[in-house]
Amino acid sequence: MPRTLDPELRRALAERVRYCQEMGVYDFYRREGAGVETLSLTSQLELREEMAARKSAVAAPGVLGDLVTIASNPERGIADPAAALKLIREDLGECTRCKLHQGRNQIVFGVGNPHAELMFVGEGPGADEDAQGEPFVGRAGQLLNNMIKAMGLRREDVYIANIVKCRPPGNRQPERDECETCSPFLMRQIAAIKPKVMVALGATAAKNLLAINAPMMELRGRWYDFKPAGSDPSWLGARLAVTYHPAFLLRDPRQKGEAWKDLQMVMKYLGIEPPKKPNE
């Protein structure tokens, strides 16, 4: 017999669903015979209202069978990446989800072509990025621009984002809880853009994207398959390469040749010819 859900349990369930949504989990299935109570229609509607109040859309369970589908993110089903990115930015709002909001001047959401085939992902904003609200605009950004140009592309052709969107104090590395709180929004950006290739800039970006704890030497020089959970099933996902962070290359320019090898691997996959030098 269906029964009304205890309000405290309903609140906890709604909270759990919100957490899962932010982690990129959108679809939920009820396990057969697991002792789960069927929600009454009243409970479904109450839960739906509660989630709507949290700016999420819920397809309530039960009425159409046992499959419980929760279509949460407002950009889901929007084919235009620019429109989807706009909705994700709106959903992020003036975010205070992690402690990095305390020291920031601006959220650094991401910049570039919403239809980009190539996406770069760095670690987090620095002082210049925090001041301007755009990723990779300081000295490291200049070097990244030069790397993009050397590939025969323009900054406007690619999309650039970071694992965390607020500047860590003193340019320290973002902490695990900060990365875990912020990265679901990055996953949604990636799912909206559907790039062919992603390049993780530096170990922090690589480790967070790939959930692999390995030194750069082992991470570089190979391809990884990457597809955020809950993204369009018709999209095969991106290929992901790892290279050095431009800030590291500024400190150790001897590694630029190695970074160029990584970018050449990307260019070969994308079928990009490097621009010819004037005397060639």
The contact set with ligand SF4 (CB under 6 A) reads: 92, 95-98, 100-101, 107, 164-166, 178, 181-182
Rounded least distance, CB 107 to ligand SF4, Å: 5
Rounded least distance, CB 38 to ligand SF4, Å: 36
Question: Which lies closer to ligand SF4 via its Cβ, residue 27 or residue 180?
Answer: 180
Question: Which lies closer to ligand SF4 via its Cβ, residue 173 or residue 255?
Answer: 173
Question: Which lies closer to ligand SF4 via its Cβ, residue 137 or residue 164?
Answer: 164
DSSP string, the chain: --BPPPHHHHHHHHHHHHHHHHTT--EEEPPTTS-PPPBPHHHHHHHHHHHHHTT-----SBTTBSEEE----TTTT---HHHHHHHHHHHH-S--SSGGGGT-SS----EE-TT-SEEEEES---HHHHHHTSSS-SHHHHHHHHHHHHTT--GGGSEEEES-SSPPGGGPPPPHHHHHHHHHHHHHHHHHH--SEEEEESHHHHHHHH-----HHHHSSS-EEE--TTS-TT---EEEEEE--HHHHHH-GGGHHHHHHHHHHHHHHHTPPPPPPTT-
Question: Which lies closer to ligand SF4 via its Cβ, residue 54 or residue 101?
Answer: 101
Rounded least distance, CB 126 to ligand SF4, Å: 14
Rounded least distance, CB 33 to ligand SF4, Å: 38
Rounded least distance, CB 145 to ligand SF4, Å: 24
Rounded least distance, CB 124 to ligand SF4, Å: 8
Rounded least distance, CB 41 to ligand SF4, Å: 36
Rounded least distance, CB 163 to ligand SF4, Å: 9
Question: What are the distances in angstroms from CA 187 to CA 7, 22, 171, 226, 229?
Answer: 32, 10, 23, 10, 8
Q: How far is it, in rounded angstroms, from Cα 132 to Cα 108?
A: 8
Size of the chain, expressed as the number of residues it contains: 280
CA 105 from centroid of its chain's CA atoms = 21
Question: Which lies closer to ligand SF4 via its Cβ, residue 180 or residue 232?
Answer: 180
Residues contacting residue 117 through CB under 8 Å, at least 6 positions apart: 195, 196, 197, 270
Question: Which lies closer to ligand SF4 via its Cβ, residue 38 or residue 96?
Answer: 96
Question: Which lies closer to ligand SF4 via its Cβ, residue 100 or residue 200?
Answer: 100
Question: Which lies closer to ligand SF4 via its Cβ, residue 97 or residue 227?
Answer: 97
